Amino acid sequence: MKFNQQNMDEAFAAMLLPGESCIASVYCVFKRTDFFAGVGTRNVLPGFAACTDRGRLLTARFPSLLYFLCDCEKSAFEMSFIKKLKIHKNIFRQYLIEAVFPTERKDFKLKFQVAPKVLGESFPNQQQELEEMLSVLSRYEI
């Protein structure tokens, strides 16, 4: 599977509520946040993230190297429930977004990295979409 805008739109289309639309959607890489995050080779998973006009953060992660053989893992989070949010810009001018959401047992941590430009992939509006996403998320930053 080649990642492109069409794949991203298709991944989020099934997750949108009736009348809901994506404000900003980006290609990103998700980072593991569990205890064994530093062990092994699959610490980074490619995928997509989007903010919607109804205050939801949607994610679609591809857990396998054989993307075309598996479905993506889809999740939706209410941004109003964000317990903690940090946005960092690293030395490579990529943004690392860390969000914590409360759950019944323990907090769920979501961590993903977004580059303003994606080389070799078909995301012509990545930079504008990233700026829009940062604008939306900055309202929830704690």
Tokens representing 108 are: 């769920």
d(CA 109, CA 18): 27
Q: What is the pLDDT of residues 56-98, one digit of tens each?
A: 999 999 876 565 545 788 999 999 999 999 999 999 899 999 9
| Residues spanned by the domain of 94 | 5-13+21-138
Q: What is the CATH number of the domain that holds 115?
A: 2.30.29.30
pTM above 0.75? yes
- Compute how many other C-beta atoms are within 10 angstroms of the C-beta atom of residue 13: 9
Name the residue among 119, 53, 122, 49 with its Cα closest to residue 87: 49
d(CA 37, CA 44): 9
How many independent structural domains does the chain possess? 1
> Which residue has better confidence, 18 or 65?
18
